Structure formats: structure tokens, C-alpha cells
Amino acid sequence: MCILLIILLYDRLLIIYIKISVVCMYAVLQNGGKQYKVSVGEVIRLEKINLPIGNFFDITQILMIINDDVVIFGSPFISNVIITVKIIAHIRNSKIKIIKFRRRKHSRKKSGHRQWCTDVEVISISNSN
């Protein structure tokens, strides 16, 4: 990423290019049949995890990890990468409505469902390679 600074100094134009090196490390994990792209500090919503709020736990089902220009793929999972997450909250998702109509019978049925889920914060992505 480059930042362009333009400074007006005593009627002279001073242009400075600053190159900032950003370490880009993220991983793709699998949880509950879904895949999530995560990096350190992100808060993601996973399927319900039966642990109290504030606990830490490790996720070992890592499909891919990217650290700067190095990409590591698992087959299907990477064996020596662990993502440590902290449980923030247990909440319920928004309601989905289930409506069943039976034609020509004057019969219908309506119900709803709210799935329990857990918000977690990614604390660290550790790679022992």
C-alpha cells in the first residue's frame, strides 16, 4: 500500500511517497459445514459452541492459510495450524419463516425457527511450519 503526501512548503510543492508494509495473514476455517475467511482481531459468527462466555478454544479444521506471499493448502486440513478464538456471546439468529400451503384444501401451516449461534473473536493464528 502506498500513501501519497503532498505538502506545500514555502511556495514549493513537496511530494512524498511512503510505502507501508502491511502483513497480511489470514486463514480459511471450516465450522458447521461452512467456510470462513478470518484474520486476527475479527469477530465471526459460528454455529453454537457449548462453552461459557469468555472461554478460549482452538479450531483445528483449517483449510488454507496465507501469510504474506506464502499460501498453504490442506488436504483436506492443515495439520499444524491452530486458530485460537475467544467466545464473546451466545445469541440467536434472525427468525426464518416456514409456511406450508396445501392447494385446494384451505389448509396452511406457519412456523418459525431461530438458530442458536456463537460470536467469537480470533485471538491468534499459529503456524508451526
The CA-atom distances, in angstroms, between 75 and each of 28, 33, 63, 80 are 13, 16, 8, 12
Output the pTM of the full model: 0.72
Cell of residue 91, nine digits: 445469541
> Of all residues in the chain, what percent carry a pLDDT higher than 70?
81
Give 65-111 pLDDT, tens digit per residue: 988 778 889 998 999 899 999 999 999 999 999 999 998 888 999 99
Give 95-105 pLDDT, tens digit per residue: 999 999 998 88
Q: Where are the domains of the chain?
A: 24-127
Cα–Cα nearest to 30, from 83, 86, 89, 88: 83
